[in-house]
């Protein structure tokens, strides 16, 4: 049935009553009143005090209805209508928010599956483990806080960010139960205060000796890259160019030379990096990311190689 619009109210411009606007757009009258109260629509008034709308209100209300159907809230819609935000920006923001929500739901679903798949005797332990990582983003923040605490010297923001990001995998957008369990165990590991204290003690000792942290981290990064193929090939830790570069990086920032005596003196300064909890951490890192060999595992390989060389 075609809606007949009454515009013969004597006003200079053709205007629509609230019932006419509802009929043209399919939006209930009570919803239109709500939009008026919220400032989404700005009607005029007839001589009798009734709301009157010009023809542009039809397109405006249809746009509002479509955006509401996509899940946009009234503040975002109002920003589009006033021109404070483009339609593309508003839609992109809503999509990004939905991605976050979907990631949270996927994380929760994988956690439920992890408990469901466990045997009766194991379920209580899994519940306790998963409690430290109920949300992927919060779990990532916990790991990042751990690695940030280990930065004891002033460093450029980009260098500190790189150091932290190397130790913190992004939570998978659609994780498997195994990945959620691995991530939760990583959070539990870094929550061990004895590990933190051990690494901080190592860091403080190095701070007293290291002249340039950036130079050290750059050299260690090069040594790790050189070691990765050997770790991937399953080679036992041992002498070679990766270990030489590793030792050289430490020697240069301490004003020393690579000698057998220096290697023996260096070993106590780096042995904490081979802590069994960190070894487990980097194994779990690989489960989360799918990497066959991680940079952390290559670093431990170099520490083990130094141990054999100095020993």
Q: Are residues 183 and 270 in the same domain?
A: yes
- Tokens of residue 145, six digits: 């806080």
Q: Are residues 26 and 169 in the same domain?
A: no
Q: For position 209, what pLDDT does the model report? A: 84
> Could you tell me if residue 13 is left (phi over 0), alpha (psi between -120 and 50 degrees) or otherwise beta?
beta
Q: For position 92, what pLDDT does the model report? A: 96
- Residue pLDDT, tens place only, 115-131: 999 999 999 999 999 99
Q: Are residues 120 and 42 in the same domain?
A: no
| Strand runs labelled E in the chain | 16-17, 44-45, 51-53
Q: Are residues 191 and 241 in the same domain?
A: yes
Q: For position 95, what pLDDT does the model report? A: 95
- Predicted confidence band of residue 87 (pLDDT cuts 50, 70, 90): very high
244 pLDDT above the threshold of 50: yes
- Tokens of residue 294, six digits: 């991680």
Q: Are residues 275 and 134 in the same domain?
A: yes
- Can you give the residue range of the structural domain that contains 51? 16-85
The domain boundary, picked from 37, 52, 85, lies at 85
- Domain assignment present for residue 303? The answer is yes
6 pLDDT above the threshold of 50: no
To the question of pTM greater than 0.85 for the whole model, the response is: no
9 pLDDT above the threshold of 70: no
Q: Are residues 80 and 162 in the same domain?
A: no
- Tokens of residue 39, six digits: 């400032």
| CATH number of residue 64's parent domain | 1.10.1660.10
Q: For position 10, what pLDDT does the model report? A: 40
Q: Looking at residues 133-161, what average pLDDT do you find? A: 85
Q: Which CB contacts under 8 angstroms, 24+ apart, belong to 35-42?
A: 35/61, 35/64, 38/74, 38/78, 39/78, 40/64, 40/74, 40/77, 40/78, 40/81
Q: In 176-212, which positions are buried (b, 16+ CB within 10 angstroms) versus exposed (e)? A: ebebbbbbbbbbbbbeeeebeebbeebbeebeeebee
Q: Quick count: other Cβ atoms within 10 Å of Cβ 10?
A: 8
- Domain assignment present for residue 193? The answer is yes
Q: Are residues 156 and 286 in the same domain?
A: yes
Q: Which are the contacts of 70, defined by CB distance < 8 A and separation ≥ 6?
A: 91, 94
The number of distinct structural domains making up the chain is 2
Task: Report the percent of the chain where pLDDT is more than 70.
Answer: 94
Q: For position 12, what pLDDT does the model report? A: 41
Residues in the chain: 311
- Predicted confidence band of residue 4 (pLDDT cuts 50, 70, 90): very low
The domain boundary, picked from 69, 85, 101, lies at 85
| CA 116 to the chain's CA centroid | 26
Q: CB of 241 within 8 A of CB of 189?
A: no
- Domain assignment present for residue 257? The answer is yes
Q: Are residues 121 and 181 in the same domain?
A: yes
**What is the rounded distance in angstroms from the CA atom of residue 6 to the CA atom of residue 267?**
90
Q: For position 177, what pLDDT does the model report? A: 97
Q: Are residues 76 and 196 in the same domain?
A: no
Q: Are residues 140 and 72 in the same domain?
A: no
Q: Are residues 138 and 198 in the same domain?
A: yes
- Domain assignment present for residue 223? The answer is yes
8 pLDDT above the threshold of 60: no
- Domain assignment present for residue 1? The answer is no
**What is the rounded distance in angstroms from the CA atom of residue 95 to the CA atom of residue 93?**
5
Q: Are residues 211 and 129 in the same domain?
A: yes
């Amino acid at each position: 049935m075609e809606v007949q619009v009454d515009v013969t109210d004597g006003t200079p411009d053709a205007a629509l009553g609230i019932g006419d606007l509802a009929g043209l757009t399919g939006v209930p009258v009570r919803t239109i009143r709500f939009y008026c109260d919220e400032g989404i629509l700005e009607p005029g008034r007839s001589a009798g005090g009734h709301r009157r709308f010009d023809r542009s209100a039809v397109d405006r209300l249809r746009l509002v209805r479509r955006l509401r159907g996509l899940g946009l809230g009234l503040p975002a819609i109002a920003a589009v209508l006033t021109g404070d935000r483009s339609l593309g920006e508003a839609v992109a923001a809503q999509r990004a928010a939905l991605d976050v929500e979907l990631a949270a739901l996927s994380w929760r679903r994988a956690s439920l599956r992890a408990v469901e798949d466990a045997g009766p005797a194991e379920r209580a332990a899994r519940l306790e483990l998963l409690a430290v990582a109920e949300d992927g983003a919060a779990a990532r923040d916990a790991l990042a806080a751990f690695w940030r605490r280990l930065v004891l010297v002033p460093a450029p923001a980009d260098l500190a960010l790189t150091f932290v990001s190397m130790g913190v995998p992004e939570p998978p957008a659609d994780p498997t139960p195994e990945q959620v369990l691995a991530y939760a165990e990583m959070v539990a590991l870094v929550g061990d205060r004895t590990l933190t204290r051990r690494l901080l003690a190592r860091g403080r000792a190095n701070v007293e000796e290291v002249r340039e942290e950036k130079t050290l981290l750059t050299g260690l990064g090069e040594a790790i890259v050189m070691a990765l193929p050997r770790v991937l090939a399953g080679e036992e830790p041992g002498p070679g160019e990766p270990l030489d570069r590793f030792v050289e990086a430490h020697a240069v920032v301490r004003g020393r030379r690579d000698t057998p005596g220096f290697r023996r003196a260096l070993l106590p300064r780096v042995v904490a990096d081979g802590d069994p909890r960190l070894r487990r951490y980097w194994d779990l890192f690989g489960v989360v990311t799918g990497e066959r060999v991680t940079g952390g595992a290559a670093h431990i390989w170099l520490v083990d190689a130094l141990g054999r060389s100095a020993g």
